[in-house]
Amino acid sequence: MYPNKFDYYRPTSLAEAVEITARYGPDARPLAGGQSLIPLLKLRLVNPAVIVDLNAIPGLSYARQENDRLTIGALTCHSDVDESDLIRARYAAIGDAVAHIGDAQVRNLGTVGGSLAHADPSADWGAVLLAVGGELRCVGPGGERLIPAPEFFTDIYETARQPDEIVTEVRICAPKPRTDGAYLKLERRVGDFALVGVAVSVALDENAICVDAGIGLSGVGATCMKGISAERILRGSLLNEPAIAAAADSLDADIDPYTDARAPAEYKRAMAKVFFRRALELARQRATAQRL
Ligand code: FAD
């Protein structure tokens, strides 16, 4: 099917993009990699009057360390993140996630900002950002604001971003010593969205006690979700079997999977616990090896 008619803008600055987006409000849709938007347009599931193509705006594609934080530009494609030495060295959960998004074509075109703004509840970026405590920088006519990841995802394909705002950057605090993470996902076939995805970040002290934990899950509810109860149980624990078992059980309270074409809700519930245990163990091993 062909998309409905729309006007097409290709601004060359962020200010211009914001001005156009603000002028048309909900009738305008930013276009990044087009991996989600183009199919939606062709199926006429979304019918914007205006497309604002962000790809001619310079300076929105990067992954760099700035003082005590990692910043990733919204237009950075998944494969550039995957190939980043910085990410590989210090942000393992992100590296795990981007390496398994779709296929090479999707990773070459799909962007970090596009994935987060699209807010598919089975997407990988959302789970990871919830686990590592990231925030999103959004720029609109009123200036910029930072939205913590737990406040960003509000419902299925819905976010706290206003229609006249553009996501420009993702920010993540640099990990402290003995802090690392992992993301594991169960997919029916290679390249599929997550049936269940679990991201875990743990910070250990010199006695191997978990001083901080972040858990994000995809595929188990209307949004990517935080495993708040499990985080609470792991903090202050030695990550021994009783603590891990209690944390895995507590996921039941935090997730709300539904039955769909991928799997029954009960299967997703069970797999969330299995993948949580595996991701936690991998994160713990990595954090133990991490001395920087
Ligand atoms: P677009 O399609 O251009 O835009 C998506 C939405 O976000 C639109 O509503 C658009 O208006 C809005 N938007 C885009 N950029 C911005 C911005 N900077 N500010 C505000 N709004 C913006 N994802 C996974 O996580 N895991 C997978 O395994 C996976 N597999 C896939 C397999 C296939 C075959 C395909 C086609 C996609 C898959 N994806 C997967 C989705 C992929 O990650 C896309 O990159 C992502 O969903 C959308 O990113 P995009 O840059 O293409 O955004």
| 253-260 average pLDDT score | 96
30 lines ligand 1 (CB under 6 A): yes
Give me the residues paired with residue 32 across strands: none
**Residue ID of nearest Cα to ligand 1 atom 32:** 102
Cα 7 to ligand 1 centroid, rounded to whole Å? 21
10 Å CB burial of residue 214 (0-12, 13-18, 19+) is: buried
Cα 159 to ligand 1 centroid, rounded to whole Å? 14
Cα 111 to ligand 1 centroid, rounded to whole Å? 6
Cα 37 to ligand 1 centroid, rounded to whole Å? 7
**Residue ID of nearest Cα to ligand 1 atom 29:** 102
Residue 160 has pLDDT above 90, yes or no: yes
Q: For residue range 161-211, what is the model confidence (pLDDT) as tens digits? A: 999 999 999 999 999 999 999 999 999 988 899 999 999 999 999 999 999
133 lines ligand 1 (CB under 6 A): no
DSSP H helices in 69-211? 78-82, 85-90, 92-99, 104-109, 112-118, 124-132, 149-152
| 48-63 average pLDDT score | 98
Q: What is the pLDDT of residue 67?
A: 87
Q: What percent of the chain is modeled with pLDDT above 90?
A: 95
Q: For residue range 81-101, what is the model confidence (pLDDT) as tens digits? A: 999 999 999 999 999 999 999
How far apart are alpha carbons 72 and 74 in whole angstroms? Answer: 6
How far apart are alpha carbons 209 and 206 in whole angstroms? Answer: 7
Q: What is the pLDDT of residue 1?
A: 83
Residue 142 has pLDDT above 60, yes or no: yes
Q: How many other C-beta atoms can be found within 10 angstroms of the C-beta atom of residue 154?
A: 13
- The mean pLDDT of the chain is 96
Residue 66 has pLDDT above 70, yes or no: yes
178 lines ligand 1 (CB under 6 A): no
Q: What is the pLDDT of residue 283?
A: 98
115 lines ligand 1 (CB under 6 A): yes
Q: What is the pLDDT of residue 190?
A: 87
How far apart are alpha carbons 96 and 142 in whole angstroms? Answer: 36
Q: What sign for the dihedral angle of Cα 164, 169, 172, 174?
A: negative
Q: What is the pLDDT of residue 292?
A: 53
- Which ligand 1 atom sits closest to the C-alpha of 126? 25
Question: Coil, helix or strand for 261?
Answer: coil
Residue 106 has pLDDT above 60, yes or no: yes
Q: For residue range 212-253, what is the model confidence (pLDDT) as tens digits? A: 999 999 999 999 999 999 999 999 999 999 999 999 999 999
Residue 146 has pLDDT above 80, yes or no: yes
| 255-278 average pLDDT score | 96
Residue 291 has pLDDT above 80, yes or no: no
Please report, for residues 14, 76, 91, 109, the alpha-carbon distance to residue 199 in angstroms, rounded to integers and kept in the order given.
32, 21, 12, 23
36 lines ligand 1 (CB under 6 A): yes
Q: What is the pLDDT of residue 191?
A: 86
How far apart are alpha carbons 167 and 149 in whole angstroms? Answer: 12
183 lines ligand 1 (CB under 6 A): no
β-strand pairing of 28-31 with 50-53? parallel
| 92-119 average pLDDT score | 97
Helical packing angle, 124-132 and 92-99, nearest 10°: 180
How far apart are alpha carbons 29 and 51 in whole angstroms? Answer: 5
User: To test the ligand 1 pocket, which listed residue (106, 164, 223) has its Cβ within 8 A of the most ligand atoms?
Assistant: 106
Q: What is the pLDDT of residue 193?
A: 95
185 lines ligand 1 (CB under 6 A): no
Cα 290 to ligand 1 centroid, rounded to whole Å? 32
Verdict on whether the full-model pTM lies above 0.95: yes
